[in-house]
Structure 1
């Protein structure tokens, strides 16, 4: 683009700087001839104002006011080729030009403004051609990047190399850099600029440039941002599809007994490797992301968990990763709580892991903590609960599965367990009190063990169940008194 300084350097024009030399770096976008007394009403930002001076007022203060209004229009400069009857330029006018950093140029009246306009217009057209050529090269480079680079970091690096800078995309919600180009060269990068990417991506493009490298063309930047916006939207559509497929898969895993070993290859293709756990999540309030779009959080891009909305909860199967838990807590808002199951194994399965996560979530709510692993609430509670929340957590931990089973199946496992413990584990006496066959009692006690993970016939199981039952009685939680 042509600047005022460049225009002055064109020798045939023989322009002289009368004042405002410090502002000659201004860019000229067009040339406009006006001799009216109010030229600021007819010019646009960046215009080079050309006048014979006949419209200028007479008097120092009036000329200063005239120049101030013209400068407020953001014109690039004013060229005065004075006619014989034009008023003389006052000292105050020159001082105002210096103060406003507004270039005031003098030209001979014999200079035809059309010649001056020709230089400006040719420069503008040339800049337009260069912009369109740069945009065309950008699209060609992007098409080449799509063929050469299989991932977005590679494509971004190719684009950055072509533009002579460094590119990065950050999540606008968290400020985390999602992807960035590879650094190249030893020269420091300056002029860092952050540009929002339109659409639902909630991302910014960060451009870092080397000294003397220009990337300030609006058309070029809009083209670049538009291309990257399409790329990010395509990735979001892919993650949406993954979310739907993951929900269907998780629902299938919870509805049927499937060995974890059989599903491992499928989950590993989704990035879910290593130790897997189940999560029961109760979203908080004031969240930056909703449960429906939490899968777009940057921390979930590499290994997106299986997510399934269930009433007011969000169930998930994911990696045992503290960064994942933190991302969910931060993304779903203040007050979010997460129950974490034990490791998913062939022995436990997905159903059991989901049950453990729900139970851990219940205990997390009772203890008012953001995250709680299955079994962590036992510490300090197994001896004796010291408060009503501890009693509730203890009952939920050891008796919760039985209560839920009795509610869904119309069974009496909790009553059976209570009767069995009151009879000190005597099979005959317990069966007689319950009015059932001994083998039926054996079946029920085994079912208690399967649901809770503790055997009521062992010392450890008896102690845990008995303390939980006493806590329920003393706190009047289940009407067992």
Structure 2
């Protein structure tokens, strides 16, 4: 399409600006000749209105009102090629054009409106042809990107490079960048770049942010709409994939809760889903009206790359990495009023069902204390002196030895063996160091790490008692390795 300024710059047309030249950036999508007294009834947004002036009122006051009604149609500009006897444009009318930034152009009566209209229409048709070609190139580039790049971010970068722009997709509510074509998405955009935000349809809750450098970048609305449509399809595909992952995760949690599956066997599967390191169980009481519902929480920003396994029971249960970032994302997404109970580290010895029990107990205590999140064991629940069941034995091992077992598994250390040997030797530092074949200072370091992980001091009477009872219960119930 052509702008009003480009029309003025076409010498062969002989147009000159009279008023409202601050609006010459407007695009023209058609040319319409009309000499009726009410042209606003016959023109539409983007039209170039051409008149010989016979329909313009003679009174300055009526001219002002006439121009205001015409400008309300959002037409692009008015070209006046006055014939003999046509009223003169009043000062008040021209001042109104300046105020409304509505371009009024002058031409000689000899100007053939057909010639002007042909120039405009040819420009429009040429723009449409270029738009069609650009859309074809866009879809061709997209098809090639799908063949060459398996990940969405790679395809986004290809599309951005082809269009000569920078693209990012942001969460509509928080403004968090979900995907970016730039390899450094958090880098501040150049000051010479202009940004445009376009809402992406569907259930994505996201905006496409287009940054263009000056003197570059297509602003063709057809191309932009095509781009938004392609990305909407991509995002919907990702959301469907996350829906499927949630269903698979819920099935796995049901199996673990029924003891149909051993936790040791699901570890590789969890690692493939990005759930590595120390894992915990969460019992979540969601807020009544948060940004994301419990049924959609797996789509929330911050949880999309390493989504916890989720299962909706009387509360929302989750198997998650023990990271503050994940907990913050859940609290932020479910809204103020959400409460989370956090189990101790899940281990093969304690089992998954025990971690669920711990999380539920921590949730009840968190609600009673009116706190946002509480870890199991932060509110002391008393010491079971002689466990009467396997469940009580699991609880003891999980509470006092779980952090050590999980640390040994992840970091290939031997804190549990060290603690056991220290207690067996009645707290004798020299004998323990000798039995383990380590320096005394190494033993000091290990026992300090035990204290940091469990909150209990192995050299204190209370710590010795609790650790010994937990170790005895674990060995009797065959929950601990033989060497422990």
TM-score by length of 2: 0.78
Of the three residues 298, 306, 309, the one matched with 1:306 is 309
Using the alignment, how far apart are the partners of 1:160 and 1:452 within structure 2?
Answer: 54
Of the three residues 201, 205, 208, the one matched with 1:198 is 201
Structure 1 residue 100 displacement after superposition: 2.9
Instruction: Specify whether residues 351 and 115 from structure 1 end up closer, same or farther in structure 2 by C-alpha distance, changes over 3 A only.
Output: same
Cα-Cα RMSD: 2.6
Residue of structure 1 equivalent to 2:155: 155
SS of 1:111's equivalent in the other structure is coil
Using the alignment, how far apart are the partners of 1:231 and 1:3 within structure 2?
Answer: 35
Whether 1:222 aligns to 2:225 is yes
Using the alignment, how far apart are the partners of 1:22 and 1:363 within structure 2?
Answer: 66
Q: Count residues in correspondence.
A: 402
| 8 A contact 2:198–2:209 mirrored in 1 | yes
Of the three residues 337, 340, 346, the one matched with 2:339 is 337
**C-alpha offsets along residues 396-432 of structure 1, whole Å, 9 cap, x if unaligned?**
x668xxxxxxxxxxxxxxxxx9xxxxxxxxxxxxxxx
Structure 1 residue 64 displacement after superposition: 2.6
Residue of structure 2 equivalent to 1:72: 72
SS of 1:98's equivalent in the other structure is helix
Using the alignment, how far apart are the partners of 1:189 and 1:169 within structure 2?
Answer: 20
Residue of structure 1 equivalent to 2:246: 243
| 8 A contact 1:15–1:107 mirrored in 2 | yes
Residue of structure 2 equivalent to 1:321: 323
Using the alignment, how far apart are the partners of 1:20 and 1:447 within structure 2?
Answer: 86
SS of 2:341's equivalent in the other structure is strand
Structure 1 residue 460 displacement after superposition: 5.8
| 8 A contact 1:39–1:70 mirrored in 2 | yes
1:265-276 maps to which residues of 2 (within 5 A)?
Answer: 265-276=268-279
Residue of structure 2 equivalent to 1:388: none
SS of 1:170's equivalent in the other structure is strand
1:366-445 maps to which residues of 2 (within 5 A)?
Answer: 366-378=368-380, 394=381, 445=388
Structure 1 residue 451 displacement after superposition: 5.1
Using the alignment, how far apart are the partners of 2:12 and 2:173 within structure 1?
Answer: 55
Structure 1 residue 449 displacement after superposition: 4.5
Using the alignment, how far apart are the partners of 1:85 and 1:47 within structure 2?
Answer: 26
| 8 A contact 1:197–1:229 mirrored in 2 | yes
Using the alignment, how far apart are the partners of 1:196 and 1:147 within structure 2?
Answer: 27
1:17-416 maps to which residues of 2 (within 5 A)?
Answer: 17-182=17-182, 188=191, 190-256=193-259, 258-311=261-314, 313-378=315-380, 394=381
Residue of structure 1 equivalent to 2:469: none
Structure 1 residue 88 displacement after superposition: 2.6
SS of 1:168's equivalent in the other structure is strand
Structure 1 residue 91 displacement after superposition: 3.1
Using the alignment, how far apart are the partners of 2:16 and 2:260 within structure 1?
Answer: 88
Structure 1 residue 58 displacement after superposition: 1.5
4+ runs of 1 displaced by more than 4 Å? 183-189, 446-449, 458-464
| 8 A contact 1:398–1:452 mirrored in 2 | no
| 8 A contact 2:30–2:121 mirrored in 1 | yes
Out of 176-185 and 353-362, give the one that drifted further: 176-185
TM-score by length of 1: 0.78
Using the alignment, how far apart are the partners of 2:130 and 2:18 within structure 1?
Answer: 33
Residue of structure 2 equivalent to 1:12: 12
Structure with higher Rg: it is: 1
Instruction: Specify whether residues 299 and 118 from structure 1 end up closer, same or farther in structure 2 by C-alpha distance, changes over 3 A only.
Output: same
Structure 1 residue 25 displacement after superposition: 2.1
Using the alignment, how far apart are the partners of 2:224 and 2:241 within structure 1?
Answer: 26
SS of 1:343's equivalent in the other structure is coil
**C-alpha offsets along residues 319-350 of structure 1, whole Å, 9 cap, x if unaligned?**
10111111111222222111111111121111
Structure 1 residue 68 displacement after superposition: 2.5
